[in-house]
């Protein structure tokens, strides 16, 4: 807090203007959202990658360059497109002069992703090393930067290379601490790009990604065909593409895009789609269905192209535009009119699918009425429990605090036992970290209906703590972290919690919100230094460094780690292992395999992994 003398000394010298690089580096969250270490799909290193690829996508959208090459190493990203290339005399301005770019000319970039000339500059400023090369008509220009500062300006020279732009960058590890790129997250981004740009090929680390059928391919990849209630319905217009089906999962699952940008928080276009679907179906079946019954278990994708889109933040996760173009129709009316015309015609012409859709809606209606009374009583119990117990130790900043840049750091640790939850509670950051304490092992929810979530006290209180009892979009914490002991009981609790989320709230997993907390297995120390080891390999390296006489402590449970030490493991250097589902994962099959009956295949798997676990334990004991 400023003292009295500082306040009195407030003069002209107190006012300073920051250079664009300084501002981006001092307030990176304003430009790229959360920082993170790469464990979450919305971490900053993926935003840097996206901002770079977006420029290449814009070239493709304007009709230049059908191939993009993306190479991601351990710490460096290289993007090569075959578009027109940056004008050679304006390379510096496009990557190092704020609010400068070709996208202000709406004739050149009618419906581009980035419009404010910030993206490439943010990548440059937040990179330890940044290299840009433009190739145009037999000539090339290269510039190299460090932390946004030009360090080498190459002269224009002749070349035989094809037109285009090559960008390489290495994120600054001082800003993105202990970062690592997860292939699964990048692959998902790449798939989204090709789904939204028919005819585009992206070669990611030499593997080709291509889509012929757009959003229909996206849903086919995201949905288990065995759970689809009817074949995917797909409509495509000039500036709007929609695909949807219904499955057997709980909740609503949406993939929404604006000008090729994945809008994870939706916006005006997704609101219009949800409204249009309800209106059209009510009118077609001539019945006033509850909106929740119509949309329950839907899996849908919507992509819209808008001139000069307005987003609610620089990270472009939510569309705020009210109009398709300046002076043009509203987004709401455009989407509603399109769906009403296309879907009504489709249902009249496809009776089999119309009947399947009706049956799915009627099933949702029955299920909702069945649990309505149970849900009311459960909500009353949850409110009463929250007043009288300490299961949830909440934090101050939540994921729903849209204007707070710390929202992305909001975390709920789910743990079991008083000692473990006590250590985390004492060590946590009360601003952004909350703790939920389980009482014993959770119920195995495999194969149970959703009414068990309300009937079981632990599950009911957990969903209330997460704030997802009514809508998954009301999620209170961006990171949901399962924190259990690294022993057999801890692993079992972890599996039961994963089953709960996959069974009833799969969108939490699919959208990258669920993690496993990794804590050290060993503490190795001598009089001068203490090292924490997460694997037997790290343990051996620590002993070699500190000497054979070093003190070795094996942590068997979270409760054995002191709050002081725990603060290091849930602070800046926190290690989170994301629960990732790839495109080939079928949730029903995964749950059946791990939590179902003891099939011969499952027995073989358990026997094999028990032997692996035994080998690991023996190796740990040898040290």
- Provide the pLDDT for residue 313: 65
The dihedral through the CA atoms of 246, 248, 253, 259 has a sign that is negative
Digit-coded pLDDT (tens) for 405-424? 788 889 999 998 777 788 88
> Confidence class of residue 612 from pLDDT cuts 50, 70 and 90?
very low
**Average pLDDT value for the chain:** 83
Tokens of 318: 């939510």
Helix (H, G, I), strand (E, B) or coil at 551: strand
Where along the chain do its domains lie?
22-209, 215-368, 389-519+557-585, 520-554, 588-623
Q: Are 64 and 84 contacting, i.e. CB atoms less than 8 angstroms apart?
A: yes
**Distant-in-sequence, close-in-space partners of 131: CB < 8 Å, separation ≥ 6:** 142, 143, 144, 145, 166, 167, 168, 169
Q: Which residues contact 550 (CB under 8 A, 6 or more apart)?
A: 524, 525, 526, 542, 543
Categorize the per-residue pLDDT at 472 as very low, low, confident or very high, splitting at 50, 70 and 90. confident
More confident residue, 115 or 458: 458
Cα distance from N-terminal residue to C-terminal residue, the chain: 50
Q: Report whether pLDDT(115) > 70.
A: no
Q: What is the dihedral of CA 357, 363, 365, 369, to 10 degrees?
A: -170
In the CATH scheme, what architecture does the domain 22-209 have? 2-Layer Sandwich (3.30)
**Which of 38-47, 153-162, 318-327, 513-522 has the highest mean predicted lDDT (pLDDT)?**
153-162
Angle between helices 44-61 and 183-196 (to 10 degrees): 20
pLDDT at 327 over 70: yes
| Per-residue model confidence as pLDDT tens digits over 552-566 | 888 877 777 888 888
| Nearest CA among 159, 168, 176 for reference residue 25 | 176
pLDDT for residue 17: 56
Q: How many CB atoms lie within 10 A of CB 604?
A: 10
**Dihedral angle, C-alpha 166, 172, 176, 181, nearest 10 °:** 40
Per-residue pLDDT tens for 352-388?
A: 999 999 999 999 999 888 887 777 777 777 776 664 5
Residue 477 DSSP one-character state:
-
CATH topology for 389-519+557-585?
A: Rossmann fold (3.40.50)
Q: Residues for the chain: how many in total?
A: 623
Closest CA to 88 of 47, 138, 36, 52: 138
Distance CA 580, CA 599 (A): 25
- Measure the CA–CA gap between 116 and 34, rounded to whole angstroms: 20
**Burial (CB count within 10 angstroms: exposed 0-12, middle 13-18, buried 19+), residue 448:** middle
Q: What percent of the chain has pLDDT over 70?
A: 85
pLDDT at 336 over 90: yes
> pLDDT confidence of 510, banded at 50, 70, 90?
confident
Please tell me the pTM assigned to this model. 0.72
- Identify the top-confidence range among 192-196, 220-224, 470-474, 604-608: 192-196
Residue 345 confidence (pLDDT): 96
Helices (H), 312-417: 331-349, 351-388
Strand runs labelled E in 106-163: 127-136, 139-146, 149-153, 157-158
Instruction: Using alpha carbons, select from 44, 47, 147, 165 the residue that is nearest to residue 102.
Output: 165
Residue 174: Cβ within 10 Å count: 10
Residue 595 in this model has a pLDDT that exceeds 60? yes
> Do 215-368 and 389-519+557-585 show the same overall fold?
no
For the cut 90, the answer to whether the pLDDT of residue 314 exceeds it is: no
Q: In angstroms, how far is CA 253 from the centroid of its own chain? A: 14
Instruction: Residue 592: name the closest of 432, 437, 447, 420 by CA.
Output: 447
Does pLDDT of 80 surpass 80? yes
Residue 227: left if φ>0, alpha if ψ -120 to 50, beta else—which one? alpha
Q: Are 461 and 439 spatial neighbours (Cβ–Cβ below 8 Å)?
A: no
Pick the CATH number of 215-368 from 3.30.230.10, 3.60.20.10, 3.30.1330.60, 3.30.43.10: 3.30.230.10
The number of beta carbons lying within 10 Å of the beta carbon of residue 416 is 24
> Residue 252's pLDDT band (boundaries 50, 70, 90)?
confident
Closest CA to 584 of 184, 160, 313: 184
Identify the pLDDT of residue 596: 61
HSE at residue 612, side-chain half, CA atoms within 13 A, is 6
């Amino acid at each position: 807090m400023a003292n009295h003398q500082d306040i009195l000394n407030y003069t002209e010298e107190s006012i300073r203007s920051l250079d664009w690089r300084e501002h981006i580096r001092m307030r990176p969250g304003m430009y790229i959202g959360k920082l993170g270490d790469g464990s979450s799909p919305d971490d900053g290193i993926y935003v840097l990658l996206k901002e770079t690829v977006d420029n290449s996508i814009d070239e493709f959208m304007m009709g230049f360059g059908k191939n993009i090459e993306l190479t991601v190493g351990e710490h460096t990203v290289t993007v090569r497109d075959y578009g027109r290339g940056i004008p050679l005399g304006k390379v510096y301005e496009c990557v190092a002069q704020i609010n400068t770019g070709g996208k202000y000319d709406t004739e050149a970039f009618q419906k581009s992703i980035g419009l404010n000339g910030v993206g490439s500059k943010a990548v440059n400023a937040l990179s330890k090393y940044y290299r840009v090369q433009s190739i145009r008509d037999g000539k090339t220009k290269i510039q190299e930067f460090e932390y946004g500062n030009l360090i080498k300006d190459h002269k224009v020279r002749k070349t035989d290379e094809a037109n285009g732009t090559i960008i390489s960058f290495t994120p600054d590890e001082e800003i993105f601490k202990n970062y690592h790129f997860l292939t699964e997250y990048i692959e998902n981004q790449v798939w989204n790009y090709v789904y939204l740009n028919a005819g585009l090929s992206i070669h990611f680390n030499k593997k080709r990604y291509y889509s012929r059928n757009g959003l229909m391919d996206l849903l086919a990849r995201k949905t288990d065909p065995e759970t689809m209630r009817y074949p995917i319905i797909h409509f495509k217009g000039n500036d709007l593409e929609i695909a949807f089906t219904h499955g057997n999962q709980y909740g609503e699952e949406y993939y929404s895009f604006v000008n090729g940008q994945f809008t994870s928080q939706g916006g005006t276009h997704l609101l219009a789609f949800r409204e249009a679907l309800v209106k059209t179906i009510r009118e077609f079946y001539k019945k006033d269905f509850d909106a929740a019954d119509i949309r329950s278990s839907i899996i849908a994708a919507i992509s819209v192209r808008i001139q000069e889109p307005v987003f609610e933040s620089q990270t472009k996760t939510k569309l705020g535009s009210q109009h398709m173009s300046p002076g043009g129709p509203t987004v709401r009316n455009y989407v509603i009119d399109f769906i009403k015309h296309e879907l009504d015609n489709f249902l009249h012409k496809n009776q089999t699918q119309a009947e399947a859709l009706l049956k799915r809606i009627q099933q949702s209606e029955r299920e909702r009425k069945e649990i309505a009374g149970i849900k009311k009583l459960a909500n009353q119990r949850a409110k009463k429990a929250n007043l009288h117990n300490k299961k949830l130790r909440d934090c101050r900043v939540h994921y729903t605090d849209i204007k707070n840049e710390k929202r992305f750091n909001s975390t709920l640790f789910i743990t079991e036992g008083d000692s473990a939850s006590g250590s985390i509670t004492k060590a946590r950051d009360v601003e952004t970290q909350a703790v939920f304490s389980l009482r014993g092992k959770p119920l195995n929810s495999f194969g149970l209906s959703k009414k068990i979530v309300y009937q079981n006290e632990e599950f009911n209180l957990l969903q209330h703590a997460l704030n997802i009892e009514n809508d998954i979009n009301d999620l209170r914490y961006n990171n949901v972290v399962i924190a259990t002991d690294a022993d057999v009981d801890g692993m079992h609790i972890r599996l039961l919690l994963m089953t709960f989320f996959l069974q009833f709230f799969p969108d939490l997993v699919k959208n990258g919100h669920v993690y496993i907390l990794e804590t050290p297995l060993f503490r190795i120390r001598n009089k001068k230094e203490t090292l924490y080891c997460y694997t037997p390999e790290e343990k051996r390296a620590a002993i070699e460094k500190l000497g054979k006489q070093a003190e070795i402590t094996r942590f068997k449970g979270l409760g054995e780690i002191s709050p002081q030490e725990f603060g290091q493991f849930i602070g800046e250097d926190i290690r989170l292992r994301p629960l990732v589902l790839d495109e080939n994962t079928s949730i029903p099959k995964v749950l059946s395999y791990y939590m179902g009956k003891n099939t011969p295949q499952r027995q073989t798997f358990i026997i094999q992994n028990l032997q692996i676990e035994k080998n690991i334990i023996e190796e740990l004991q040898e040290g």
